[in-house]
Structure 1
């Protein structure tokens, strides 16, 4: 799911990556909305709010929205920096540290977030941390899939989906139609699992509050363990065949 890159990646690898991490993004998104009334999986809306507050001369509030954008950027930078750093020594494990960092951030928010009354300052800190985590995820997924999969926001997905649906009326070659249908299925899968993450997360939030993020962290941990177990299986299999 994470280890295969470039030509070694298949549609199934991207589908597994897309469905799992879009589900996680949905969980994080609804948790941020319900807990601190903030979108925490993308920064598109924050640019509009930033500009609005500048026009109103509410510079402290504008600064908050600017920092939302910056923390997402820092998350993306950190993710790719760590990936490149580890890749030079152990390419097969280059994804482990960024995903582990995301798990740690989500776990710490869930662990300590509910101990605060979510007043202005605490709410901002939680939003910064969640946007940082989603920046990590979006950067890692984009790099691994070579921009085929994006899991934290849907604007580009709906754009691509609209383009590809329209192309079905014009592309006639079997190979082109097959490729289009594959891409459409992938886009719809991401959108569906993001929605399911939001929906399930909303129900879980009623009971767990910010600890809903434990669920998101758990799914990421399962993904890491799944990849590790598969890696060990193929290593053992290769050694067996060589002997």
Structure 2
């Protein structure tokens, strides 16, 4: 899900990545809006809010909108910096570190007292926006810009384009590409909504601790990815070991290479 990149990456890998992280983004979106009344998964609305407050000469509120945008940007920048630095030292940990940082940040916020969350709403909002910027950059990097999970505007645009193109592109390879893209974008939209609905129901009882659901999803995804990668490595080692055993030609119909 996280480790495959480039030509080795398939639609299945992208669907797994999209489903998990879009669900997480949906939960964060609801938690941020319900507890803080602030958008915490995208920055489009903050630009409009900045213009509105600046026109009213409410410069403090206007600059808060700038801070929210900067927090999302900082998360994306930090995620990419960490990915590039870690990739030069250990390829196995390249995507584990950003995910661990996101888990730690969301867990810390989830364990805060509700009174503290309200008193420091702007700081908490910036922390959530930082986490979502980090996630969006990570997903973009892993999927080579195929998957985006924190906002839906572009996804609905892509879905509209691809559904319209189905009426005009009839070649098998074109249909295959379009149906794959539609399936991926629909999965992101569906799981983002599912995360919002789940988070909305749970929030009435758990409040900000609803973020623990997002933390659990990220931990499961990281463990699944790590275990699956470990199993693949063990299989490869076993095959290499079997191929190098002295008696491997004993029951083979092929002759061993002449030395």
> In the alignment, which residue of structure 2 is the partner of 1:238?
236
CA contact (8 A) 2:75 2:132 kept: yes
Secondary structure at the aligned position of 1:112 is classed as coil
Could you tell me how far apart the structure 1 residues matched to 2:208 and 2:113 are? 6
Q: What is the Cα deviation at residue 240 of structure 1?
A: 1.1
Could you tell me how far apart the structure 1 residues matched to 2:113 and 2:33 are? 14
CA deviation map 1:169-210 (0-9, x unaligned): 111111101110110011111100000000000011111100
Which structure has the greater CA radius of gyration?
2
Q: Give the root-mean-square deviation of aligned CA atoms.
A: 0.9
> In the alignment, which residue of structure 1 is the partner of 2:106?
106
Could you tell me how far apart the structure 1 residues matched to 2:112 and 2:105 are? 11
> In the alignment, which residue of structure 2 is the partner of 1:139?
137
Matched ranges for 1:152-163 at <5 A = 152-163=150-161
Unaligned runs of 5+ in 1: none
CA deviation map 1:1-24 (0-9, x unaligned): 000001110000000000000000
> In the alignment, which residue of structure 2 is the partner of 1:52?
52
1:68 aligns with 2:57: no
Q: What is the Cα deviation at residue 114 of structure 1?
A: 2.1
CA deviation map 1:18-45 (0-9, x unaligned): 0000000000000111000111000000
> In the alignment, which residue of structure 2 is the partner of 1:179?
177
TM-score (norm: length of structure 2): 0.91
> In the alignment, which residue of structure 1 is the partner of 2:197?
199
Could you tell me how far apart the structure 1 residues matched to 2:173 and 2:7 are? 18
Q: What is the Cα deviation at residue 113 of structure 1?
A: 4.3
Could you tell me how far apart the structure 2 residues matched to 1:178 and 1:195 are? 26
CA contact (8 A) 2:117 2:124 kept: no
Provide closer, same or farther for how the CA distance between residues 21 and 117 of structure 1 changes in structure 2, counting only shifts above 3 A.
closer
CA deviation map 1:96-118 (0-9, x unaligned): 11110000010000111425261
> In the alignment, which residue of structure 1 is the partner of 2:125?
127
TM-score (norm: length of structure 1): 0.97
CA contact (8 A) 1:113 1:126 kept: no
The match for 2:166 among 148, 158, 168 is: 168
Could you tell me how far apart the structure 1 residues matched to 2:78 and 2:212 are? 22
Provide closer, same or farther for how the CA distance between residues 9 and 68 of structure 1 changes in structure 2, counting only shifts above 3 A.
same
> In the alignment, which residue of structure 1 is the partner of 2:17?
17
> In the alignment, which residue of structure 1 is the partner of 2:222?
224
Q: Aligned residues, how many?
A: 241
Secondary structure at the aligned position of 1:118 is classed as helix
CA deviation map 1:68-101 (0-9, x unaligned): 0000000000000000011112223210111100
Provide closer, same or farther for how the CA distance between residues 141 and 117 of structure 1 changes in structure 2, counting only shifts above 3 A.
closer
Q: What is the Cα deviation at residue 217 of structure 1?
A: 0.8
Could you tell me how far apart the structure 1 residues matched to 2:198 and 2:35 are? 15
Q: Which runs of 4+ in 1 moved over 6 A?
A: none
Provide closer, same or farther for how the CA distance between residues 220 and 117 of structure 1 changes in structure 2, counting only shifts above 3 A.
closer
